[in-house]
């Protein structure tokens, strides 16, 4: 079992949550003595102590666990009015909070033995001791040589991080995006003013000369008006120049604000990489292979939405690398390789993108096997000459698998198409490289963020459209390219390969002037791996665009993924070229007879569908740990922050299973379970309760509410959790 306390990401999450709960506990305890309704305060304190206990149990902090457990017992006794709240009770509970804080992992953490007096005092208090003994922890021992320094050192700061809901970060990004668009419009307007001011200054100069030439014949009031007009023109020119300097400075400041706001949403890829060792270990054990995982670039950062969107794809690729790529020890010995195979997962920043690569040192892809399977499925003709990347692109076709047997991890033809779809939905691209006998590598190119995209701006007729740069293979000038007709359709010759040439204007249903002739093309990857070229009137350059959803009023517009407002106020739509290609050429680009593929895909999809688990847990640390474990077991996991949030998810399609805590604000796990049993479509969804409450009456309450299984956090075992979920879900 992994040592979760050694995982820096989980440790930081648990520590931040416990510190927040301790602050809440101490604030509540200070109110307890004088509060008119102490029972109400104690109830909130009990919940905080309960959360600290659950977090300590999951992290394996035994000393903190015992202190929190006995704090919970004392608070429970006060809540049930077994005795009145006294000052010594508050003093003891505050001392327990200090002890827990001192025991959190770190350089100065006290050991479990130092917490034992607190545990004994709490037990005695629950037993009715009066007055309560309030132990004090020994001070931290400071090395003598460090004392002189410590006397003049600044106090050690507290935690330098805060927890903010992701929704708040993206709301901020929306506001910053709007402000950035406004700044661009002001910049555009300032440029127009500069042009007008220059034009006015030129004509004011002409007017000045004419006034001086005819000054003797002009009426005094006209001469004065002309003089004032010329002077105002000079003042206006100076003001506009000052405005330009102000706008340029503001533009730079807005860029800093935008980058800072975007940085709030950035997370290291380590968050996803952390789950890969467990996945690799499980697949290696199942397949009888000896495989080592090596990761690098864990500190490379991506927008949380991008990282979450590609997390499942990376897990698929690691499974694929072990199951399909790496040979068994005997096969590697026969090939003169070390018995232990190696899978490398690396991340690196490249310009405005992040490239993640999953590579193995296995046998590589057998192109003959791929070609034979594609011919049998009717995807390519028997005399096809597809080779290299064009042939390997078939691996991304739904229902395609080179495995002749069906196991838990292979043979169903489900996986690589999911990878391709996930990456392309994020505006990225994926390619595969393989060398027979040396290994295979899958390369994912992803945008750093979805809020600000680097795009190519193309004009078609009177409209301009944006295309994400990560999805573009190459831009071409049609004036210099070789364009031919093949089987009655235009193609453009690129590096000796004929690429279908489609008219973007026609695909969008735009009417153009007969004199407008496309002069450029964008080469992109189609969903099936095939490349397509989209003809456009011209390309207007590359730009970073703040892209926004179209909003609920417009809803989903076909072939449009979002929009931005240009500096002149015009709307520039972000194209979904994959959807456009599907409409233009269908999904049977390679097929001689597409029916067999569709039938196989339809048959395979239900078998390979990943079960969806809804985790409802108000402790962020426990919630994150359960998510990591279940995702590592191959499930699609959604999370809710409390019972009310979980109940709100019942409006969506039913999950395959719900995993819920009991003690949560607003609605506890038992009420949530009863709500699930009354909700149409969710009535038969299995509900697993995982809680610290092991009393018989609590178990019975869970069963009466309709839970399917009741697990205890103090007996937490990840294998038991996964096996329980698999038993109830059926996969």
Structural fold of domain 4-152: 1.20.120
Q: What is the mean pLDDT of residues 556-562?
A: 75
How far apart CA 34 and CA 407 sit, in angstroms, is 65
Q: Answer for the pair 361, 342: CB distance below 8 angstroms, yes or no.
A: yes
Would you list the DSSP string of 618-649?
A: S-HHHHHHHHHHHHHTT-EEEEESSHHHHHHG
Helix axis angle, 276-287 to 304-320, nearest 10°: 20
The residue behind tokens 């895909």 is: 601
Between 29 and 211, residue with greater pLDDT: 29
Chain length of the chain: 731
Contacts of 618 (CB under 8 A, 6+ apart): 51, 641, 642, 643, 661, 663, 664, 665
Is there a cis peptide before residue 131, judged by omega within 30 degrees of 0?
A: yes
Query: Which tens digit of pLDDT belongs to each residue from 310-334?
Result: 888 898 899 889 988 899 999 999 9
Q: How many CB atoms lie within 10 A of CB 493?
A: 14
For residue 257, the surrounding DSSP H or E stretch is helix 220-264
pLDDT category, 343, cuts 50, 70, 90? very high
How far apart CA 258 and CA 180 sit, in angstroms, is 8
Question: Which candidate, 655, 646, 644, 707, places its Cα nearest to that of 682?
Answer: 655
The beta-strand segments (E) located in 624-722 are 636-640, 657-660, 687-691, 709-712
The predicted pLDDT at position 154 comes to 44
The residue behind tokens 């479509």 is: 681
Q: Which architecture does CATH list for 268-365+402-439? A: 2-Layer Sandwich (3.30)
pLDDT category, 730, cuts 50, 70, 90? confident
For residue 464, the surrounding DSSP H or E stretch is strand 463-468
* Structural domain boundaries in the chain: 4-152, 166-264, 268-365+402-439, 452-585, 610-729
Q: What is the mean pLDDT of residues 214-223?
A: 78
| Range 166-264 has CATH code 2.40.50 | no
Q: Answer for the pair 440, 535: CB distance below 8 angstroms, yes or no.
A: no
Average pLDDT, the chain: 78
The predicted pLDDT at position 613 comes to 93
| Range 610-729 has CATH code 3.40.50.300 | no
Percent helix, strand and coil across the chain, each to the nearest 5:
50, 20, 30
Tokens at 168, concatenated? 């708040």
For residue 9, the surrounding DSSP H or E stretch is helix 8-32
Query: Which tens digit of pLDDT belongs to each residue from 480-508?
Result: 777 877 656 788 887 666 788 888 888 88
In our burial notation (b when 16+ CB lie closer than 10 A, e otherwise), range 213-236 reads eeeeeeeeeebeebeeebeebeeb
Q: Answer for the pair 429, 423: CB distance below 8 angstroms, yes or no.
A: yes
Query: Which tens digit of pLDDT belongs to each residue from 618-648?
Result: 887 778 778 878 887 888 888 888 888 888 8
CATH superfamily of the 452-585 domain: SH3 Domains (2.30.30.40)
Query: Which tens digit of pLDDT belongs to each residue from 18-71?
Result: 887 888 888 888 887 667 667 778 888 888 888 888 777 767 788 888 898 899
Which of 244-248's residues contact partners 24+ apart within 8 Å by CB, and which partners? Answer: 244/190, 244/194, 247/183, 247/186, 247/187, 247/190
Cα maximum dimension of the chain: 112
């Amino acid at each position: 079992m992994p040592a979760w306390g050694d995982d820096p990401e989980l440790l930081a999450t648990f520590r931040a949550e416990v510190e927040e709960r301790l602050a809440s506990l101490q604030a509540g305890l200070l109110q307890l003595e004088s509060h008119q309704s102490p029972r109400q305060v104690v109830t909130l304190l009990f919940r905080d102590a309960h959360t600290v206990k659950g977090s300590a149990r999951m992290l394996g902090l035994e000393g903190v666990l015992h202190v929190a457990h006995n704090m919970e017992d004392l608070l429970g006794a006060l809540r049930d009015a077994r005795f009145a709240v006294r000052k010594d009770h508050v003093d003891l509970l505050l001392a327990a909070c200090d002890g827990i804080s001192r025991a959190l992992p770190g350089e100065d953490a006290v050991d479990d033995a130092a917490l034992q007096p607190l545990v004994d005092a709490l037990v005695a208090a629950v037993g009715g001791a009066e007055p309560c003994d309030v132990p004090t922890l020994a001070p931290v021992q400071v090395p003598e040589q460090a004392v002189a320094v410590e006397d003049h050192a600044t106090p050690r700061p507290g935690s330098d991080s805060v927890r903010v809901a992701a929704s708040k970060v993206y709301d901020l990004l929306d506001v910053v995006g709007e402000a950035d668009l406004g700044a661009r419009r002001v910049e555009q307007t300032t440029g127009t003013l500069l042009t007008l001011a220059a034009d006015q200054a030129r004509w004011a100069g002409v007017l000045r000369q004419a006034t001086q030439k005819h000054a003797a014949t002009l009426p005094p009031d006209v001469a004065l008006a002309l003089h004032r007009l010329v002077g105002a023109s000079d003042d206006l020119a100076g003001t506009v120049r000052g405005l330009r300097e102000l706008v340029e400075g503001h533009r730079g400041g807005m860029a800093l604000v935008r980058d800072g706001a975007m940085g709030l949403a950035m997370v290291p890829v380590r968050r996803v990489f952390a789950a890969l060792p467990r996945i690799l270990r499980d697949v290696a054990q199942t397949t009888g292979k000896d495989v080592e995982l090596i990761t690098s670039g864990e500190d490379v950062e991506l927008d949380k939405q991008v990282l979450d969107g590609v997390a499942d794809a990376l897990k698929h690729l690691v499974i694929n690398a072990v199951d399909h790529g790496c040979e068994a020890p005997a096969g590697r010995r026969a090939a003169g390789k070390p018995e232990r195979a190696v899978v490398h997962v690396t991340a690196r920043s490249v310009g405005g993108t992040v490239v993640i690569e999953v590579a193995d040192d296995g046998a590589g892809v057998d192109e003959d096997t791929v070609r034979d399977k594609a011919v049998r499925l009717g995807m390519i003709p028997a005399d096809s000459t597809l080779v290299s990347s064009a042939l390997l692109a078939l691996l991304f076709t739904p229902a395609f698998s080179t495995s002749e047997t069906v196991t838990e991890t292979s043979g169903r033809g489900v996986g690589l198409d999911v990878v391709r779809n996930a990456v392309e939905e994020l505006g990225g691209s994926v390619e595969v490289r393989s060398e027979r006998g040396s290994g295979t590598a899958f390369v994912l190119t992803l945008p750093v963020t979805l809020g600000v995209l680097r795009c190519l701006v193309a004009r078609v007729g009177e409209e301009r459209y944006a295309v994400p740069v990560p999805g573009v293979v190459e831009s071409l000038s049609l004036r210099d390219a070789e364009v031919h007709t093949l089987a009655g359709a235009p193609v453009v010759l690129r590096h000796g390969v004929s690429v279908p040439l489609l008219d973007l204007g026609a695909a969008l249903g735009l009417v153009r002037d007969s004199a407008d002739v496309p002069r450029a093309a964008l080469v992109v990857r189609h969903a099936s791996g095939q490349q397509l070229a989209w003809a456009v009137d011209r390309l207007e350059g590359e730009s970073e665009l703040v892209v926004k959803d179209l909003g609920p009023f417009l809803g989903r517009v076909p072939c449009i993924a979002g929009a931005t407002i240009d500096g002149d106020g015009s709307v520039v739509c972000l194209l979904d070229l994959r959807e456009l290609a599907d409409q233009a050429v269908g999904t049977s680009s390679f097929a001689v007879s597409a029916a067999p593929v569709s039938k196989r895909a339809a048959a395979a999809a239900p078998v390979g569908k990943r079960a969806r688990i809804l985790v409802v847990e108000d402790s962020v640390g426990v919630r994150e740990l359960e998510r990591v474990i279940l995702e590592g077991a191959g499930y699609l996991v959604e999370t809710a922050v409390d019972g009310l949030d979980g109940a709100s998810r019942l409006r969506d399609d039913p999950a395959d299973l719900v995993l819920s805590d009991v003690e949560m604000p607003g609605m506890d796990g038992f009420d949530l379970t009863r709500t699930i049993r009354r909700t149409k479509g969710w009535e038969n969804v299995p509900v697993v309760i995982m809680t610290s409450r092991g009393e018989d009456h609590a178990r019975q309450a869970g069963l009466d509410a309709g839970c399917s299984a009741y697990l205890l956090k103090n007996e937490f075992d990840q294998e038991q959790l996964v096996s329980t979920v698999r038993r109830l879900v059926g996969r």
